[in-house]
Amino acid sequence: MKSTKIEIHSSEYVNVQSDDEDNNEEVKIIDSETLEPPAKRARKTATATTASIPQAKQKQPSSSALLFTKLGLPIGQALTKSYTFFSPLPQQTTPSDEYVLGVDEAGRGPVLGPMVYATCFCKESFYKELSSLGFADSKQLTEDQRDKLFAKLQSPDVRQDSGWSIRCISPQDISQCMLRRTKYNLNSLAHDATIQLIRDTISKGINVRRVFIDTVGPPASYQKKLQELFPGINITVAKKADSLYPIVSAASICAKVTRDAHLSQWVFAETLLQDSLSSVYGSGYPGDPNTIKWLKDSLDHIFGYPGIIRFSWSTCAKLLADHAAGVVWADDEEVANNTKSVARYFASSKKNTFDSGSSNRLRSKFFSRRRPVSMSVTL
């Protein structure tokens, strides 16, 4: 029986373009030893009397994770959809108050988990004081230091003059965008997340006058693009902006603690895997030994990986190709060298027939195989 593959795209992203070279991914080829499926490992350790549905692993949440939960973020829940969150707006703000805003990300390169874009914004009159709080590039700080700095942003004396927001992009949405027939590359995804956060901040009545952004791609072209979208705002796009501008450093910390909170409290949408898979993911980069071990141990021969993985990463594709069951679709596209021109489907023909050999006009395989006598369409 002929099978048909049906693709359903539900992502909110449109106007896509293709560019696979901007993954910023460190590719690590993992050895070809036989991998034992996690389901098999689970059967070895499961008892015959256990029949309850597994619950989320009990992990000690960080102070930031507890705060996120209190604020209503979906920490400790299956993260299958992207979301945007805004902190309470600065107290005692007026339309005449001018603001400076910084943007940075966390999780762009890892093979697993969400990618988080964040903003931090404060009144121009408060910027010097914010700069004195000790914000620095989140990658140069320990987890405890990041949590303490993030807690400072929630203190009443800071909240009255500043705020923050995040755009958390789930690994499923990343995979879906980058594996489309018309791909939506990581740079476009990052640009659109940044633009959305800036627009949302302005729409909430925040008078943004200056913006500092850690670049994605060439700084000059990115800055020109943003300046055209926001002509009334002074925009600076720079490499290593998180180490140059304290407002970007603060945004970097917001992004990093959000991603870390999700990973530390990760709940698999595939609930039966919750207790059979390790939560020691490492950094998520393919060069991390803990990440390599997790990727090897968690690969199922039939079902591949759970939804925490970004399937568009070449590391994942290589492992699935080497160790998982192959898939052959009945409607796979023809090899590029044998693909007919699209114009052939619309070529004029003197004969009205579904026999592809009797006409210059190329018929779809659907019709040539089924050879229908007549068709009717009701509109």
CA-based torsion, 149, 123, 199, 17: positive or negative: negative
> CA 98 to CA 210: how far, in whole Å?
9
> CA 257 to CA 153: how far, in whole Å?
12
Of the candidates 296, 261, 277, 283, the one whose C-alpha atom is nearest the C-alpha of residue 110 is 283
Buried b (16+ CB within 10 A) or exposed e, 61-91: bbebbebbbeeebbbbebbeebeebebeebe
> CA 19 to CA 183: how far, in whole Å?
7
Contact status, residue 186 vs residue 25, Cβ threshold 8 Å: no
DSSP string, 194-244: HHHHHHHHHHTT-EEEEEEEE-SS-HHHHHHHHHHHSTTSEEEEETTHHHH
Distances (CA, A) of 162 to 106, 201, 220, 258, 290: 21, 12, 28, 18, 37
Quick one: 145 exposed, middle or buried, by C-beta within 10 A (0-12, 13-18, 19+)? middle
> CA 36 to CA 33: how far, in whole Å?
10
Q: List the binding residues.
A: 104-105, 214
Question: Residue 300's Cα: distance from chain center in Å?
Answer: 23
Q: List the binding residues for a divalent metal cation.
A: 104-105, 214
* Helix 63-71 with 143-153: angle, nearest 10 deg: 40
> CA 249 to CA 240: how far, in whole Å?
10
Quick one: 129 exposed, middle or buried, by C-beta within 10 A (0-12, 13-18, 19+)? middle
> CA 190 to CA 168: how far, in whole Å?
11
> CA 72 to CA 150: how far, in whole Å?
17
Contact status, residue 99 vs residue 165, Cβ threshold 8 Å: no
Output the six-digit token pair for 110: 């890892």
